[in-house]
Amino acid sequence: MRHVISATVQNVPGVLAHVSGMLASRGYNIDSLAVGETEDRGFSRMTFVLRGDDRVLDQVRRQLEKIVTIVRVDDISSRNYVERDLMLIKIAAPPGPERSHVKELADIFRGRIVDVAADSVVVEISGTEKKLEGFIELMRPIGILELVRTGRIAMVRGGPPTREQTEADDDGRSDEPSSARESLA
Amino acid sequence: MATASRPRVSETVQTGADVVVESLVRHGVEVIFAYPGGASMPLHQSLTKYADRIRTILPRHEQGGGFAAQGYARTTGRPGVCMATSGPGALNLVTAIADAKMDSVPMVALTGQVGTNVIGTDAFQETPIVEVCRGITKHHYLVTHHDDIARVMKEAFHIATTGRPGPVLVDLPKNIQLAQFVPDYDVPMNLPGYRPEPRPPQPEQIAQVAAAIKRAKRPVIYAGGGVITGDASDELRELVRKTGIPVTMTLMGLGAFPADDKLCLDMLGMHGSVYANYAVDEADLLIAIGVRFDDRVTGKVAEFAQHGFIVHIDIDPSEINKNKLVHVPIVADVEDALHALNKIVEKPAAPLDEWYAKINQWKQEDPFSYDRSFDGILPQHAIAELSRLTADRDTIVTVGVGQHQMWAAQFFKFRRPRTWLSSSGLGTMGFGLPAAMGAKVAHPESLVIDIDGDGSILMNIQEFATCRTENIPVKVLLLNNQHLGMVVQWEDRFFKGNRAHTYLGPIDNPEACGQGDGISPECRYPDFVSIARGFGWQAETVVEKGGLEGALRRLVDSEGPALLDVQVPYQEHVLPMIPGGMTVRDLIKQ
């Protein structure tokens, strides 16, 4: 099962190495790891995506909690949360119909073209893992030159879920395909 | 910690190194095992200023210093402190640090580091020791500003000694040691993520355990190092007094319950007693206290105690359900949990007579045994004799790793906690001699004996010098079989006896390829008696069985450091044995 773990850590040198080293040495595979400062400069937030059964995840959480510089660990998978991944993708798209096609798809996926060169464009796009993968699949036949992703970040929603909040999540909208398979089907 | 409420001692300028050493004093450190070098010289200079309060002992190898610190810590429960210079010095501490982590030993390891201006430039004797030690410390620090020293030292001692204890590394760049400033020792700790205080045991869980005991017909207690580390030996004995439940111990747990008590089942696991392993297998209730269901105990973990209702008490939440899923997991200080349990616990409702009868039958059928009629000296016999001759003395035993370690666990009768020191989790050869050294420093009145093998002792034999020069009169009982006995045993059992680099004598001797039929006294190598004497030790060899008792008496009654080199055969196997990953049904008795 896929788990999203959010950890608050002390913003001290070596904490990322400590965490990733612990996970590697105990044989846990992480799909994604993102880290950045929080509103308090003394702390950073790490978001992990891991796969494993409940027992494995329980161990991961306890082992993370044992690391002195980790302040708090939450497995937010079972809670109502927003999850995002940011991607920059460079596509081989010389001026002409191909470039228009890329532009059109980027619009549908609420992406932005952030760089244009003679033979390529760079699209910035954010969303869930599924959405990004959907976009990648669509770009593959056109020609992906380079791709970089931040890894998943996630946050538990405030208060109990409401209809408005669900709608505010752009992935809930029907005008935007959440995966290539769906849109191509 | 003790420093928290004290006022600032002075407004005078001190060096960073002085602040480190002053911090040691403030944390009650009375001895440090430290080997100097370029990057730790300021610290050594400071230690001379505090010589009236801290004894600095110079080991002859940093690893020896690390294990000596462990010997101090394991016998006192207080943090052991060792120090080395940067680079090779620091790296030589690594094994002792990893060992302390595996066995939950409180230790503070200080290392010198190159100056902060050259860190990362591959400077002379530069090693990123914090990077190296990340996975093998409880926590670690690279101090990059002198204002952090007092806080880091405070945190280091706090972390090393609270919760589940462990080693903390503090890496101190030379310019930080040399910095001059007015220190503030009263600075608060900054550990928002470290909450070692265990919650009090939950009454409903304790009641569950008491209820399980009440209905148990075949209960067993499985006690580990946590009982010793948690100072819960008295509570454990009280629990047994109240309930009559038999106790088996792990290698780390020996001493938690007296070996001569009729309810003692001795050690369990791979080389544990037949009766302990049978009892755990048939138990309908297993109370696991301060243990981690290590593979050397459980064998095939799915079948370990498979018929039993399992209670697991441990201070470390990450040990719960790590190796074995249990029915009642109690995260608590073991002493608190046992104290709470002892208040409400009652004897099992049905008398345990049948269970005792069964256990006693197993004990009679398969005690730990050896061939008493053997003509020479068997290693088991030497240990049993030593145990007998020192029974009324205040004795601490350390060991290396291998057959002699297992035989010491089987045949030496431990009665009190913190009197048995063994590198159990990591299994580090060479542990015995330096650990004995540290134990003797902490307990000058005790008889401290390193029962060692001829393989293990060579790994830290340089500490003979420390024992002599620093007046640390430890005793060594050397069980000399000229082989790496445990590996030989596995070769015999699992590799058709093919000798693969397990003979310790000259390679042109027939024993090197398993051809010899024994080791004659003339061709024994090396000459440990001459080596020991060369270091200023008293030493003798014993070959004849009749000479053993006298030689042992001379050993334990000697004044200074002394070695008894006992010639033993290499053909003996440690039995019983449950091969790795197997079950009690695969137990080998012969």
Is residue B402 located within the same domain as residue B520? Answer: yes
- The three-class DSSP label of residue B328 is strand
Distance, in Å, from the CA atom of A2 to the CA atom of A25, rounded to the nearest integer, reads: 20
User: B188 in a domain, yes or no?
Assistant: no
pLDDT band at residue B466 using 50, 70 and 90 as cut-offs: very high
Candidate from A21, A55, A58 with C-beta closest to B134: A21
CB-based contact, B322 to chain A, within 8 Å: yes
Q: For A153, left (φ over 0), alpha (ψ -120 to 50), or beta?
A: beta
- The contact set of A with B (CB < 8 A) is 9-10, 13-14, 17-18, 21-22, 25, 55, 58-59, 62-63, 65-72
Q: Which two tokens stand for residue B375?
A: 């003509």
Query: Taking a C-beta distance cutoff of 8 angstroms, is the pair A122, A88 a contact?
Result: yes
| Region A81-158: CATH code | 3.30.70.1150
- Residue B587 is assigned to a structural domain of this protein: no
The pTM for the full model equals 0.93
For residue B190, is it within any domain? Answer: no
If one counts the domains in chain B, the total is 3
Strands (E), A11-51: 30-37, 43-51
Whether omega for the bond prior to residue B526 falls within 30 degrees of 0, making it cis, is yes
Fold matches, A2-75 and A81-158: yes
- Residue B511 pLDDT level (bands cut at 50, 70, 90): confident
Q: What is the architecture, at CATH level 2, of domain A2-75?
A: 2-Layer Sandwich (3.30)
Query: Per-residue pLDDT tens for B172-187?
Result: 999 999 999 999 999 9
Find the domain containing B547 and state its range: 379-567
* ipTM of model: 0.87
Tens of pLDDT, residues A18-75: 999 999 898 888 899 999 999 999 999 999 999 888 888 889 999 999 999 999 999 9
Q: Which residues of A touch B159 (CB under 8 A)?
A: 68
CB-based contact B274:B587 (threshold 8 Å): yes
Summarize pLDDT for B214-260 with one digit per residue, the tens. Answer: 999 999 999 999 999 999 999 999 999 999 999 999 999 999 999 99
CA distance B70 to B77: 10
Q: Verify that B428 and B560 share a domain, yes or no.
A: yes
Work out the minimum CA distance from A27 to partner chain B, whole angstroms: 13
Residue B318 sits at the chain A interface (C-beta within 8 Å): yes
Q: For A26, which residue in chain B has the nearest alpha carbon?
A: B135
Residue of chain B with shortest Cα separation from A8: B193
- Give residue B508's pLDDT: 86
Q: Which helix (H) or strand (E) holds B310?
A: strand B309-314
Q: Give the separation between CA B556 and CA B562, rounded to whole angstroms.
A: 8
> Is B373 part of a structural domain of the chain?
no
**Taking CB atoms and an 8 Å limit, are B192 and A10 in contact across chains?**
yes
Q: Minimal Cα–Cα distance from B135 to chain A, Å?
A: 6
Domain ranges across chain A: 2-75, 81-158
Q: Please, what's the b/e burial string for A52-68 (b: 16 or more CB within 10 A of its CB; e: otherwise)?
A: eeeebbbbbbbbbbbbb
